[in-house]
């Protein structure tokens, strides 16, 4: 049995992955944005071990999520599922002065990666739209460009792959991978999404717990349990390192140093 934390798991793919894992006998901790959503999560999946609560647009609350998670003990895997979509308008910056799509989709998983006691596996949800992303690390806040919600989302999903690969390079004792679940009919994907919703949660659950040799790799990118090509920039060690440096600067939270042995 594995212990797995899934962010953004009150509904959609996160809840589906949680249900899949609990059905397999694994110990799953959910995450909700607030107490109302936490109650919804408990009602939707009574078999969940616990629910951690915090708004991932806030650095302080994201720190709180990490503290709650660490208080529960160690995890075998963390699935970074939470995110906002490509239909987002440009809102005012978060309470920390950070553009909100980047704050939720990229900075929050970085922070949780840095602050949660290191698990054996990390799984980052990306999107096929990441291939349209631009690695504009000089304009993460969209101050030099007119706002484009679809582009901001695509960029953020590219950064998620870069983060997964950067962690894989730095932490040899952790299996760190990214995936695209497909364009499925969730709140984010919309009702006309063509991909198979039932398959949307399979790959993240598989990467989190499976002993299949195909799942026990690191630095991979997957779609429906098969390797898939990525944006070429995702493999750039220099861009990975710059993204991590910028996340460190924005959050004032450094990424812990590598362990020396697996």
Selecting among 110, 124, 153, 159, the annotated active-site residue is 153
Distances from the Cα of 201 to the Cα of 12, 153, 204, 225, angstroms? 9, 20, 6, 10
Distance CA 100, CA 230 (A): 24
Selecting among 120, 157, 159, 221, the annotated active-site residue is 157
Does residue 110 have an active-site annotation? Answer: no
The residues with which 122 forms a beta bridge, in sequence order, are 78, 176
Q: At what angle do helices 202-209 and 12-23 cross, to 10 degrees?
A: 50
Distance CA 107, CA 248 (A): 9
Distance CA 81, CA 120 (A): 17
Distance CA 206, CA 220 (A): 13
Distances from the Cα of 217 to the Cα of 122, 159, 168, 255, angstroms? 11, 20, 10, 22
Does residue 187 have an active-site annotation? Answer: no
* CA trace torsion 124, 130, 135, 138 (10° rounding): -70
Residues identified as active-site: 153, 157
């Amino acid at each position: 049995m594995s212990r797995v934390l899934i962010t953004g798991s009150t509904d959609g793919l996160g809840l589906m992955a949680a249900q899949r894992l609990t059905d397999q006998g694994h110990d799953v901790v959910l995450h909700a944005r607030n107490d109302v959503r936490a109650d919804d999560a408990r009602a939707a999946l009574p078999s969940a071990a616990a629910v951690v609560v915090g708004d991932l647009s806030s650095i302080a609350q994201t720190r709180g999520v990490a503290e709650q998670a660490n208080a529960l003990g160690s995890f075998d895997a963390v699935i970074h599922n939470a995110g906002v979509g490509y239909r987002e308008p440009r809102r005012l910056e978060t309470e920390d002065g950070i553009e909100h799509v980047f704050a939720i989709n990229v900075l929050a998983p970085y922070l949780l990666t840095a602050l949660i006691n290191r698990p054996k596996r990390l799984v980052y949800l990306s999107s096929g739209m990441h291939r349209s992303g631009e690695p504009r690390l000089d304009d993460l806040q969209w101050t030099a460009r007119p706002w484009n919600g679809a582009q901001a989302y695509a960029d953020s999903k590219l950064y998620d792959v870069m983060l997964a690969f950067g962690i894989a390079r730095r932490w040899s004792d952790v299996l760190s991978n990214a995936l695209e679940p497909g364009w499925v009919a969730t709140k984010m994907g919309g009702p006309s999404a063509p991909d198979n919703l039932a398959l949307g949660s399979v790959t993240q659950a598989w990467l989190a717990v499976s002993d299949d040799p195909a799942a026990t790799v690191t630095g991979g990118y997957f779609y429906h349990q098969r390797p898939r090509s990525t944006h070429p920039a995702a493999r750039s060690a220099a861009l990975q390192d710059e993204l991590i440096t910028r996340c460190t600067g924005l959050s004032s939270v450094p990424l812990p140093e590598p362990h020396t042995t697996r």
